[in-house]
Amino acid sequence: MRYQRITALFAACAITLCSCLGCSSKRDQVYTDTLFDTVVNIRIYDAADESVLKGCEDLCKKYDAMFSKTSESSEIAKINQAGGAPVEVSDETIKLIEKGIYYSEMSGGAFDITIGSVSDLWDFKAETPAVPDAAAIASAVSHVNYKNIQIRDNTVRLLDPYAKIDVGAIAKGYIADRVRDYLEEEGVRSAMIDLGGNIIAMGTKPDGSDYNIGIQKPFDESGTPITSVKVSDKSIVTSGIYQRYFEQNDKIYHHILDPATGSPCENNLYSVTIITDSSLTADALSTTCFLLGYEKGMNLINQLDNVDAVFITNDNKLHYSKNFQHKQ
């Protein structure tokens, strides 16, 4: 068995941004941490008070505590542990869950925010990851149905007491958007927000040019980009099977789970990268389009305004959405 865990875009982006920006200015302020089960890196290029960077840290830690599925004190965990009883939560948790329901409906259930009962079975961080028992998977799948989420004002109730919400596919995007909003309110115009590959390029580089963001070559452990895209004031997010996976009996088991089967999604895709204004939108659509597959996923993107995509199929070919604007 071989195990590999790669954070989406992180290594590739670090290499590409370094080559594009040259030596970072001494005035750059950087916040680095490990939250949301990934690496957080926020770099402010504008002159800003140190309190601004501390504000970014406070925001990230606030949301980590609020949205974590594993921390028993988080609002998501309280909903999942309530056994079907109503739970009062914050406005922001309501907004996040409503977004999850929206993308669940948009995809016809291909994406489902109640995948938690299934994702609990798959431990990709274990020292020796293993495929869960088939009967356990089948049982968990029977509790996946976003229609069992009932929202009344600030109260959330799971009509199926064994259902579980998992906001892993949208939370980092939501948080990245909130960090950007905060930085804009503080007068910051040039910054790079990277929440484990959920990237927001605020404004332009210090020299006024676009950022050049790498898209990692699938299964390349060196983090070498297969291509790169030029962006300013955009978010870019990738979902791929090479980000978190293990191999067993010569088969790859990755972290993008199909709500219909409870197992890793099987299609001809290696990854989907979305570029748009909102990191939450990019986060949700990258997973949704992967689950829909190449044809349905690309068709969805081509119907949306101000959303671009790069699909990488399992022959390592790049496929760009119809009106793609960000090539080098």
Question: Does 61 fall in a domain?
Answer: no
Question: Does 114 fall in a domain?
Answer: yes
Closest CA to 223 of 215, 232, 211, 234: 215
For the domain that residue 268 is a member of, what is the CATH number?
3.10.520.10
Do residue 231 and residue 92 come from a single domain? no
Q: What is the pLDDT along the chain (328 residues), one digit of tens a residue?
A: 444 433 333 333 332 443 344 435 557 899 999 998 889 999 999 988 899 999 999 999 999 999 998 888 999 999 999 999 999 999 999 999 999 999 999 999 999 999 999 999 999 989 999 999 999 999 999 999 999 999 999 999 999 999 999 999 999 999 999 999 999 999 999 999 999 989 999 999 999 999 999 999 999 988 889 999 999 999 999 999 998 999 999 999 999 999 999 999 999 999 999 999 999 999 999 999 999 999 999 999 999 999 999 999 999 999 999 999 888 7
Question: Does 58 fall in a domain?
Answer: no
Do residue 89 and residue 232 come from a single domain? no
For the domain that residue 78 is a member of, what is the CATH number?
1.10.3980.10
Question: Does 269 fall in a domain?
Answer: yes
Total of domains in the chain:
2
pTM: 0.92
Q: List the domain range (segments joined by +) for residue 279.
A: 2-52+172-180+189-320
